[in-house]
Amino acid sequence: MKHQPPPPPRRWGVVAAVVALVLLACLQIQYQHLKVDLGKAGFASATQENNAIPSRNRIRWGTARIRKAATGADSLPRGIVQRHSDMSLRPLWEDDPASTHKNKNGDYSALLAMAVGISQIKNVDTMARKFLKENYAVMLFHYDGNVDGWRHLEWSEKAIHILAHNQTKWWFAKRFLHPDVMAIYDFIFLWDEDLGVENFNPRRYLDIMVSEGLEITQPALDPDLSTDIHHRITIRNKMSKVHRRIYDNRPSMNCSDESKGPPCTGWVEGMAPVFSRAAWKCVWHLIQNDLIHGWGLDMKLGYCAQGDRTEKVGVIDSEYVVHQGIPSLGGPSLSSKTPRRSLDLRTHVSIICGIFVFLDQGLKVAIVLTVALIDTKTIIG
């Protein structure tokens, strides 16, 4: 009697499928247990209260309860809840009714926030005076640890000083400019420290921003005096008050009326952005916790334009600044200035990042093809 051949070994595809199903089942069970544990504390009381309410009002009451509980103030009397804060300094012994950061005409409230180092104190002094003159708030993020070096400035006690060694403005902004704290301000200037503001007036700037219906802007850059210009759209147009797009027929740009996004339209650079309150509420959530220099973030700001980015994002030409291109946080020396047309550090980093993304995508494709080939051999065999 002939022995029957042993059954063929199980196919790896079947084994993998079974393992995947088991893992999914375990994760689902763990999720349900966690969901029950998190809701156990408030379930009984919520059910009892809900049963005491007429059925026609339960849906409306339940929605209101969820909205109220989300603020963390559901146990407080309604009249005592203060949902927002601000950066106004409060005197210890007397009230200061003029501590609101609206301009002299009472039109807008604004905040200027900058990451600063003591080596740029002269330039920052000029910038801060411009904003404080209009009764706007100033917040300085000290990345070099030197706060005492600013105390001799007459306006120093009017500013907010925050210290963290070797951090950029995006790190500070994510941790200290939460939308609930910024809600008191109509506009937020999140600027670099190396901007010349001789031809800039913050009050006139905001007047233009409001009249043009803009949510995200930046002042144009003076092309004659700025030493560090990266993108054509930021260059000042002397013939206009505001521009929202550029035109360029070069194949590398191809900017026309049909263009719908960066670098042709709907875009500002990260050195000197100005946000409306609504735009900042969105941008704050866009900033990642591990973001350092912010390179690439400016390409995504259009998502927060509160509408069509080609209309709500723009560069204001009549109030312009000079980008001095002074490196900070241990950057290269000024003695070796980079020519405007050569590749600067930002461009090199962008190229390197692009290579890594390309390699990463290639690796993913290779893995997918390998798995597909293995699966095909398994099925055929």
Q: Which residues contact 206 (CB under 8 A, 6 or more apart)?
A: 103, 107, 108, 110, 186, 187
pLDDT of 339 reads: 41
DSSP bridge pairs for 255: 248
The CA-based dihedral angle spanning residues 35, 36, 38, 40, taken in that order and rounded to the nearest 10 degrees? 160
The rounded distance, in Å, linking the Cα atoms of 26 and 22 is 6
pLDDT of 49 reads: 44
pLDDT of 162 reads: 97
Q: For residues 284 and 174, is the Cβ–Cβ distance under 8 A? A: yes
pLDDT of 342 reads: 38
Q: In angstroms, what CA-CA distances link 78 with 42, 74, 183?
A: 21, 9, 19
The rounded distance, in Å, linking the Cα atoms of 62 and 298 is 40
| pTM of the predicted model as reported, rounded to 2 decimal places | 0.68
DSSP bridge pairs for 109: 102
Q: Which residues contact 157 (CB under 8 A, 6 or more apart)?
A: 89
Domains of the chain are 110-323 (3.90.550.10)
pLDDT of 14 reads: 74
pLDDT along the chain (381 residues), means of 10: 57 74 78 57 42 49 49 79 74 61 70 96 97 96 96 96 96 95 95 96 97 98 92 95 94 90 94 97 94 87 96 98 82 43 42 41 41 40 44
Q: For residues 100 and 88, is the Cβ–Cβ distance under 8 A? A: yes
What is residue 162's three-state secondary structure?
strand
The rounded distance, in Å, linking the Cα atoms of 373 and 377 is 6
pLDDT of 191 reads: 97
Q: Which helix (H) or strand (E) segment is 171 a member of?
A: helix 169-176
pLDDT of 319 reads: 98
What DSSP line would sit under 266-315, residue for residue?
S---TTS-EEEHHHHHHHHHHS-TT--S-TTGGGGGGGGSSS-HHHHEEE
What is residue 187's three-state secondary structure?
strand
Q: Which residue has the tokens 């334009």?
A: 305
The rounded distance, in Å, linking the Cα atoms of 263 and 260 is 9
The rounded distance, in Å, linking the Cα atoms of 287 and 297 is 8
What DSSP line would sit under 344-356, residue for residue?
-HHHHHHHHHHHH
Q: For residue 83, which amino acid is it?
A: R
Strand 274-276 with 216-221, pairing: antiparallel
